[in-house]
Structure 1
Amino acid sequence: MNKKNDQYMSQLPDNWINGYFGRGVYLILSALVSAPIYLAIEAYVRSIDVHKDEAVAAVATGCFIAGVFAGRYIAQIWSAGKRSIPNTLLIGLIILIVANISWLFFHADFPLEGRAAINLLLFWLPFVIVSLALGILIKLIRTVTQNQLQEAQTSAANSQSELQLLQSQLSPHFLFNTLNNLYGLSISQHEKIPPLLLKLSDLLRYSVYDVKETFVPLIDELAYINNYIDFEKIRIGDRLELSIDIENVVRTDIKIAPMLLIVFIENAFKHSKNTTSEKIFIEIALKTWGKMILFSLKNSYNKPKLEPANSGGLGLENVNKRLALLYPVEHVLDLQTTDDFYTVSLQLKMK
């Protein structure tokens, strides 16, 4: 309870003067708008035959400005302990303001003859209501805007934290799979281990040190992919039937999320080696077209009769989350599985 009270008090101004008038810029804006307000009120009071219309208009202008500040102060106190402002309240204030302004215009055309005091009352009452309601509305709209901005900033911070966590999982995931492969080769084909270790060193250097940014040049990512393919060529040997159609990208300003495509390529090699066929078939293509990066992959695949629940692994789950965070409405991913082939089609907007 004390924590809530402290939070509530922290949202209130240090003293009532600062709370009432707000920042100095508000006083400057009030001085600027007071002239047209004065002219409008003077024309109004003249239309209802009020004596000393200039003095009345000057007083009314001051009262209107004071009423707006008073409404702003009331709204500030009322909204200090609230997280959200009902839309119905904002709509109700708008209707109240429009209704009272409409009455003022109607009364200006049809004032009561010989009833100066009642005419002033019929002017002042809606006039005060309009000034107070306008001040409340302005403050509440500002509060709603600030709350939405704060929520957006909090959401962005949470998304950035999640993205950093996902990106930190990439290197361990890749290293785990690669070490498993090296272990199998060390038993059956130990002569391949030295060149594979050299390639692995280059791959890890990129995955650990060169992918700290949210987006990296596509040319660097393709160099990493080609290095990984060379690694798999050494590991698999003659069993591999590989078709590569990767565009020779030379521009450094085209960027992509790091280690995004490699997950699909790594899965292609991993699943293909488990096929019963003699050859491992993999087809990789990448093109740039307009503002898009077009990536496609096809690999031989034997669908097991009963797939475990986590057969997608950490890699694909990670990719889907990163795509949602980094390319929320800027990507199209299509995964297709048949009895013999697994295909990936990915379209990304260039960064």
Structure 2
Amino acid sequence: MKTRGKNQKIIPRILQHTLFWGIAIVLFSQLFRTSAYVNTVDYIYAALFHATLAVAVYANFGLLLPYLFDKKRYIPYALGIIVLTLAGTGLNWAFFEFVTDLLGFYFISYFEWTEIAGFFVLYLGLGTLLKFSKAQFRLGKLEKEVAEREQRHTENLLNALKSQLNPHFLFNSLNGIYSLVITDPEKAPDVIVKLSDVLRYVLYDSDCEKVSLADELRQSENYLDLQSMRADCRRAEISFEKHGDPKGFDVAPLIFLPLLENAFKHGIKGDVSDAFLRIRLERQDETLYFSIENNKGKTDGAVNRQYGGIGLENLRKRLDMLYGDAYAMEISDADTFTVRLRLPNLTEYELTMPDR
């Protein structure tokens, strides 16, 4: 398998080089023919002339260019080209002087050595440019492949984080509906409709890179209504202050729901006396400030780290991938549990994720 793959790379390269030298020989035969028509001897001498050029070109490919690419030292490389040009010119003269027949028949006899050296400089320069172009093309292709691979990895990671959120959210919501069916069954249909709306948002609308702040707020309020109908939430103090117009402001989807979920799971429950949940949202120009504060239960130390911590950590990872350094998230876990979030307007700010 390795030999086959290696041959698949070498054969096209040999064909490319053969095509290049073949075209060069034909052009030289046309330019320096000895009569009105190109004769066989013209092709022979053109091929012999290019044989000495090929020695210099492949010495450049095999010795000088690898040194240049590795060391990035241009002056030694330029000196090497000069030496290679002089050596190639001398080899060319010796070849036609002592090896080939019909001395004086071909243009080599009446060209000055400086003109012959010019051909070597031309071919060496052309070969170097082709190598640089090929290296640049490979680099661009590699960078594109890396970017595509990183994009796929980011999308897969985001989907994995969302898939962790969806069952967690559904589990808590179904618990709330179960409590409501027992305590107030007449309200259950309306609650199920709201749950369906929230689940549609979580499962489908969250595939978008950004959503309107109004949509995110509406689903957050639906979630608050769902959870507020639980028996242990009816005694809690729940407030949601909103300041500023949400119109024209976009956010990444599923930003607020994990924070609300965490607050209800660990702040508003049976073992919390005088439970409260205070939410505040304020828009200042193209910046959004969101804070959520709740008191904690007696067993929140280990439980919050085990369950709530997962949701918050997933949220932070998503924010890192979507907003980069443009957001801020602060968590305070003293007497109360508080999360403060600052987000830019995605209408003006491009997501750091690569375009899909």
Instruction: Place the TM-score, normalised by the shorter chain, in its bin.
Output: 0.5 to 0.7
How much has 1:303 moved relative to structure 2?
6.1
Structure 2: gaps spanning 5 or more residues: 25-49, 85-110, 347-356
User: In the alignment, which residue of structure 2 is the partner of 1:45?
Assistant: none
1:176-234 residue CA offsets vs partner (Å, 9 max, x unmatched)? 11112333455566666454334323322332343332222221111111121222232
Deviates more, 1:130-139 or 1:148-157: 130-139
Whether the aligned pair in 2 keeps the contact of 1:268 and 1:282 (CA below 8 Å) is yes
Whether the aligned pair in 1 keeps the contact of 2:278 and 2:292 (CA below 8 Å) is yes
Is 1:244 the counterpart of 2:240 in the alignment?
yes
Instruction: Kindly report which structure 2 residues correspond to 1:1-351, keeping only aligned pairs within 5 A, or say none.
Output: 2=1, 4-11=2-9, 14=12, 16=14, 18=16, 89-92=69-72, 94-99=74-79, 132-187=127-182, 193-235=188-230, 236-247=232-243, 249-251=245-247, 253-274=248-269, 276-302=271-297, 304=299, 307-308=302-303, 310-312=306-308, 314-338=310-334, 340-351=335-346
Query: Structure 1 pair 191/341, CA: closer, same or farther in 2 (3 Å)?
Result: farther
User: In the alignment, which residue of structure 2 is the partner of 1:56?
Assistant: none
Aligned AA for 1:266? E
Whether the aligned pair in 2 keeps the contact of 1:90 and 1:137 (CA below 8 Å) is no
Measured in 1, the distance between the counterparts of 2:285 and 2:19 equals 53
User: In the alignment, which residue of structure 2 is the partner of 1:110?
Assistant: none
Give the % identical residues.
Answer: 28
Query: Structure 1 pair 226/291, CA: closer, same or farther in 2 (3 Å)?
Result: same
Aligned AA for 1:204? L
Structure 1: gaps spanning 5 or more residues: 28-62, 79-85, 105-115
Aligned AA for 2:341? L
Query: Structure 1 pair 276/161, CA: closer, same or farther in 2 (3 Å)?
Result: closer
Whether the aligned pair in 2 keeps the contact of 1:13 and 1:19 (CA below 8 Å) is no
How much has 1:288 moved relative to structure 2?
2.6
Measured in 1, the distance between the counterparts of 2:239 and 2:19 equals 72
Query: Structure 1 pair 7/18, CA: closer, same or farther in 2 (3 Å)?
Result: same
Measured in 2, the distance between the counterparts of 1:130 and 1:15 equals 20
What secondary structure, in the 3-state scheme, does the structure 2 residue paired with 1:177 have? helix
Aligned AA for 1:312? G
Query: Structure 1 pair 20/144, CA: closer, same or farther in 2 (3 Å)?
Result: farther
TM-score (ref. length: structure 1): 0.65
Whether the aligned pair in 2 keeps the contact of 1:101 and 1:130 (CA below 8 Å) is no
What secondary structure, in the 3-state scheme, does the structure 2 residue paired with 1:278 have? coil
Aligned AA for 1:206? Y
After superposition, the CA RMSD in angstroms is 4.2
Query: Structure 1 pair 343/117, CA: closer, same or farther in 2 (3 Å)?
Result: same
Aligned AA for 2:241? D
Query: Structure 1 pair 18/126, CA: closer, same or farther in 2 (3 Å)?
Result: closer
Measured in 1, the distance between the counterparts of 2:343 and 2:136 equals 37
How much has 1:19 moved relative to structure 2?
5.9
How much has 1:147 moved relative to structure 2?
1.2
